[in-house]
Structure 1
Amino acid sequence: MSGVAAAFFCPSSNSQADVYDRLEHMIPKLALRGQAAVGVAAFMHKQGIRYGRAFQSSSASVRIDPNEQDRRFRPHVAIAQVRSRCRELSDGVDLQSIHNNAGTSRHLAISLDEALVNARELRGAFLAQEQRSTVNTDAELLLKCIERCCERHYWRHGLAANYETVFREIDDRIDGAISALFLDGDGNLIAYRNRSGLRPLETMQTDDGFLLFASENCAFAALEGKTRQISPGHITYVDGTTGGSVSRAVHNGRHKARLCAYEALYLGSPNTSVEGHSHFETRYNIGAALGGIVAQRLQAEADPTCTLVSSKPRTGGPFADGLYASLAEYGLLAERREVVATTFLQRTLIGTTDERKSRISQKYRVLETDLTKTSVVIVDEALIRGDTSRAVTSMLLTAGAKAVHWAIGSPPIVAPNYYGMGINTLDELAFWQIWKRLPSEQRTQSLRFHKMEPHVLRLIESNIATSINAASITYLPFPLLESLLPLRPESFDLSPFTFEMPTRAGQERADRNLRELVADLPRMQSVHA
């Protein structure tokens, strides 16, 4: 998960602001997409590309600090990447500069919001061609693909690259969720969104003469101008000299664009909107719908106690607000109060098992030391592996809570999510850990995934609750999710809940993963017998 932003200062502009000013405006608004660091690459004619970092202060402001301090360096274009540190393959410490094989200095830079599913295969192809390869990150990998294509078709012949052709070849080669901002050695800027459309990419032509790009439209808040979304399978090319821009399709139209459901549920800023519906509004409405189910379960408690509604910090707030309002409508007295806080912003869902456990133990703390005779409802947007919810439940019970209930603003996650959440296998998911223990008939029923019978879903909820020491878990039923998304269901990738992947290559991987898990089940059962 990363955020990307770019600013191009159009030649006709008479604004007193510069591209760094515009990036410093946009970057803080993309903070949810990565908290590790911000890399910047900027270009000035006759000076070339230079690299730097951006530093965020406690006041949420950002200061860009180029590596080379030179007051005469006033770039007309700059790109930035807000990065997350916790990745199986990290995005690297800086935006990468890659030189072509001919030995001439062709500086290329890229900022990338990506989940590159077939990265291993692409990397293997490079290793097969070169005895030694320095392609380590997805950013380097995509740059290498672009460089190879440019060299083969254009540079060796002394021609300027036709980026429509280059990115058409790239779009055919990759499988994943990609939004990228690419800067070449002539100051040309290319914004690219691959054909799956799972990652958003938006642009604004500002009234004061800038052309801006960002992962989310919340980055343009308080700026005046015309915005539009870059369509899946398209590039927008901005000429480094004239500032003129054109959009071109780079795919053949066989793939139907879908936005990753996690954009609305988790990844996107609450202030970002889709078709006029903010993510905050979507999350609030989901919480309200979920509250009706939770209210019935709480009312069934034999010994009602004081009920606190809290969120898992940072992302669960809108869900919890909606759920709390709904409980009142059902006549259930509750108090909306945060009882869990975080000590740092870094996400805990990505990384190795040991890395995640270490971060979880350090990240969360209970705000109140005495929760005696209190039932706590923790509202979260998803329950993935269960390790974070287990740790938070333990903290709350230690503080005296009588019961901890979890309300989840999405259905059970049943599929590896190669396209944005760092979930690469089935057996790491809480759903499948419980599935292995179910009787044969319930296992078969649950393989209907989002179409499973309600009593099977309740059985899974009960078992997962037991595994994390919670009193209950309530998932959002799939039909409710479909009805509450800001676009028609077919406009979203719902594969985490349906096992229906957005691309053929992704489906083949998921099916193979499922066959391996099912085939391994008899062995696991014999071990535990």
Structure 2
Amino acid sequence: MVRRLLKDEAKSRLHKHIRHGNDPPDRLLKKLGDYMSGVAGAFLCSSTEPSPRVVNQLKTMIPTLALRGQAGVVVAAFMQERGIRYGRAFQSADNSVRIDCIEQDPRFRPHVAIAQIRSRSCGSGGDGDMQPIPAGTGISGYFAISLDGAFVNADELRDELLAHEQLTDANTDSDLLLKWIERFCERDYWRHGLPANYEAIFREIDDRVDGAISALLIDRDGNLVAYRSRSGLRPLETMRTDNGFLLFASENCAFAGLKGKTQQLLPGSIQRVDAKTGDSVDHALNSRRYRAKLCAYETLYLGSPNTSVEGHSHLHTRYSIGLALGRIVAERVQAEPLVTPPIVSSMPNTGGPYADGLFDSLAEQGVLAERDDVVATHFLERTLLGRPRGRQARIAQKYRVSEPAVARRTIVVVDEALIRGDTSQAVTTMLLAAGARAVHWAIGSPPIVAPNYYGMGIETLDELAFWQALKRLPPELRAQCLRFHRMDLPVLRTIESNIATAIQAATITYLPFRALVSVLADRLEGIDLSPFTFEMPTPAGRQRADRSLEALLAALPVNPCLGSGS
């Protein structure tokens, strides 16, 4: 009976090397996703004479998107008579960038260049590979592509290619997208000696894909095509500058300091830029108009604090969340007898605005605390993606704590999310080993209850700390937890206590969903909150989520005293 109730509740709400010149690209050895990537592009429209200006413009944009991935940057550039070349971008401590194999040849002066800012892979192979921008292998050297996002239905897309007897080694989403573009080009245009109609090609692609995709494509004639899938979950910003460039980027922070007209590429559309004239034309791929609904992670985690969406900066949003979170944490800290003021520390790189807001909120509540970042990193690379063993090794290598600062002190660590719990557990262990009296975690988002099928590399429900905690609860409490963002506050506190015990923390405080809604009140229609609600933004996504939920619920243990539940 209990298992039936759980199900009813759920139903009711439900490469590695860079290609140089004309050398063919190496085959990639594993299936990767581009979950936490970014893209940038620059097209010189103001002059028919190519120059190094386009590469220089791209180099100024790359550092602004660094938070989107720390596994490296790869670049493709095109020059008439010379074709497409590939290079790897290297960033110095002063944020200056050099691009090998492109800048070194003074005779190579492209009019268009694109970049992909890569994160570490989350594939099934060894950890640490970086996916380059591959060239299409159906027609060698015809395309270069940079991709931000991931296909949810990659396996189905691959199987369909195989069904057409197109055996493929498309082990990445970039490869897979190129294979489909080449298939349509060959079927409808190339064999007939016709130029490709990208509007028709991407219309077919947009009808097939499920996921969050933004992409930049260069063809062998030097034309550029920008594409944003109809879900609109991944942003793609454009700017036509006053000095003759047409720029593309995953975030508008890449346009800082430039003058010109900016806009978003609309969901379910492409923008084609003509190589000869520099003219650009937008094409809607469907008669239906799609509204942008950015994944919540863009605001809470992926996006640079310097990015703004419709006038709302990520920095201000995260600070406001910290303020709201601090009002709850104040009660817990005040309940604990303290000899010295607690230390409020952020998790490095992304948690700062949350911690600043929480610290100021504690002061407003009359709680004396110190603001000191006692957790630091050895390297910038995120550890969210990858297989468990490799991730755990990188987590152990990445973080360090300031032992003198934490000895015999209570530490409040502020982070934007608690996903699997292994990072927070490792940091808690480090702090306690360094002599901390107690470690409290303040989380700037509600519990993550669903894999984000549109870009965070969480493949199964079972990976999430929420579900691991739910498994340890009595069946009657599980049913209440399955209300997800509508669960009562005492039930949320039970989940928090369970996870805190698992990671050896004194307490965990999640941001209640209602508090998040309050902060985002005037823009809820533009943000996908599915990680916290289990309400996926596409029909295919909902079907996949429901199947995952059904499978997990069927495997949950049932209290023997309550029968089998069948």
Whether 1:142 aligns to 2:177 is yes
**Does the alignment pair 1:329 with 2:364?**
yes
Amino acid at match of 1:515: E
2:141 & 2:55 partners in 1: Cα distance? Answer: 23
TM-score (norm. length: structure 2):
0.89
1:417 deviates by: 1.3
Moved more, 362-371 or 122-131: 122-131
Q: Report if aligned partners of 1:290, 1:323 keep a CA contact under 8 Å in 2.
A: yes
* Larger deviation, residues 46-55 vs 363-372: 363-372
Match in the other structure for 2:249: 214
- Specify the alignment match of 1:264 in structure 2: 299
Q: 1:145 to 1:225 in 2, by over 3 A?
A: same
2:133 is matched with: 95
Q: Is the CA contact (8 Å cut-off) linking 1:282 and 1:486 kept in structure 2?
A: no
1:514 matched residue in structure 2:
549
CA shift at 1:72, angstroms? 1.4
- Between 1:3-12 and 1:348-357, the stretch displaced more is 3-12
Mapped to 2, the partners of 1:395 and 1:296 lie a distance apart of 26
Equivalents in 2 of 1:240, 1:21: separation in Å?
Answer: 19
Question: Would the aligned equivalents of 1:9 and 1:211 in 2 still touch at CA under 8 Å?
Answer: yes
Preserved CA contact (<8 Å) 2:119 2:130: no
Note the alpha carbon deviations across 1:253-303, whole angstroms, 9 max, x for none.
Answer: 275531000000000000000111110110000001100000011111144
Are the aligned partners of 1:370 and 1:400 in contact in 2 as well (CA < 8 Å)? no
Q: Which amino acid aligns with 1:225?
A: G
Q: Over residues 147-194 of structure 1, what are the superposed CA-to-partner deviations in whole Å (9 max), with x where a residue is unaligned? A: 111111111111111111111111001000001001101111011110
2:146 is equivalent to residue 108 of structure 1: no
Match of 2:286 in 1: 251
User: Which residue of the other structure, out of 87, 92, 107, is the alignment partner of 1:57?
Assistant: 92
Partner of 1:238: 273
Determine the structure 2 residue equivalent to 1:478.
513
* Alignment partner of 1:441 out of 473, 476, 481: 476
What SS does the corresponding residue of 2:406 show, helix, strand or coil?
Answer: coil
Q: Distance in 2 between matches of 1:5 and 1:486?
A: 31
Question: Which residue does 1:460 correspond to in 2?
Answer: 495
Pick the aligned partner of 2:214 from 165, 179, 182.
179
Give the residue type in structure 1 aligned to 2:297.
Y
CA distance in 1, matches of 2:151, 2:129: 12
Which piece of structure 1 moves more, 480-489 or 8-17? 8-17
In 1, the alpha carbon distance for the partners of 2:290 and 2:211 equals 12
Matches within 5 A, 1:352-501: 352-369=387-404, 371-485=406-520, 487-501=522-536
Post-superposition offset of 1:494: 0.5
Residue aligned with 1:427, SS: helix
Matched with 1:30 is 65
What secondary structure is seen at the aligned counterpart in 2 of 1:488? helix
Contact 1:370 1:399 in 2 (8 A): no
TM-score by length of 1: 0.95
CA distance in 1, matches of 2:120, 2:408: 40
Distance 1:449 1:255 in 2: 27
SS at the partner of 2:389?
helix
Q: Distance in 2 between matches of 1:94 and 1:295?
A: 47
What do residues 92-118 of structure 1 show as CA deviations (whole Å, max 9, x unaligned)? 5421112436xxx55101000012111
How much has 1:59 moved relative to structure 2?
1.4
Q: Which moved more, 1:312-321 or 1:363-372?
A: 363-372
Residues 86 and 347, structure 1, Cα contact 8 Å, conserved in 2 = no
**Separation in structure 1 between the aligned mates of residue 339 and residue 229 of structure 2, nearest angstrom:** 52
Whole-angstrom distance in 2 between the partners of 1:51 and 1:425: 35
Output aligned runs, 1:334-349, within 5 Å. Answer: 334-349=369-384
Q: Which amino acid aligns with 1:54?
A: A
1:205 aligns with one of 215, 236, 240: 240
How many pairs are equivalent? 523
- Amino acid in structure 1 at the alignment position of 2:134: Q
Q: Give the distance between the partners of 1:108 and 1:68, measured in 2 at CA.
A: 21
Give yes or no for contact 1:7–1:23 (8 Å, CA) kept in 2. Answer: yes
- With over 3 angstroms needed to count, the CA separation of the structure-2 counterparts of 1:291 and 1:68, relative to structure 1, is closer
Distance change (3 Å), C-alpha of 1:525 and 1:61:
farther
Change in Cα spacing, 1:278 to 1:163, as seen in structure 2 (3 Å) is same
| Matched AA of 2:83 | G
Summarize the Cα distance change of 1:513–1:525 in structure 2 as closer, same or farther, 3 Å threshold. Answer: farther
**2:136 maps to amino acid:** I
2:172 maps to a residue whose letter is: T
2:361 alignment partner, SS class = helix
Over 4 Å off, 4+ runs: 13-17, 89-92, 523-526
In structure 1, what is the equivalent of residue 12 of structure 2?
none
Percent identity between matched residues is: 67
Deviation digits for residues 16-37 of structure 1 (CA, Å, limit 9, x no counterpart)? 8611111100000000001111
In structure 2, distance between residues paired with 1:452 and 1:474: 15
Q: Which runs of 5+ in 2 are unaligned?
A: 1-35, 562-566
**2:261 aligned with 1:226, yes or no?**
yes
Cα distance change on mapping 1:331 and 1:56 into 2, 3 Å: same
Question: Is residue 155 from structure 1 mapped to residue 194 from structure 2 by the alignment?
Answer: no
Consecutive unaligned residues in structure 1, runs of 5 or more: none
Partner SS, residue 296 of structure 1: helix
> 27-36 vs 297-306, which deviates more?
297-306
CA distance in structure 2 between the partners assigned to 1:256 and 1:225 by the alignment? 24
Q: Report if the CA contact (8 A) 1:15-1:208 is conserved.
A: no
**Higher relative contact order (Cα pairs below 8 Å, separated by 6+ residues):** 2
Quote the offset at 1:367 in angstroms. Answer: 1.8
| C-alpha RMSD of matched pairs (Å) | 2.0
Aligned-pair CA distance for 1:225: 1.1
**Paired residue type of 1:289:** A
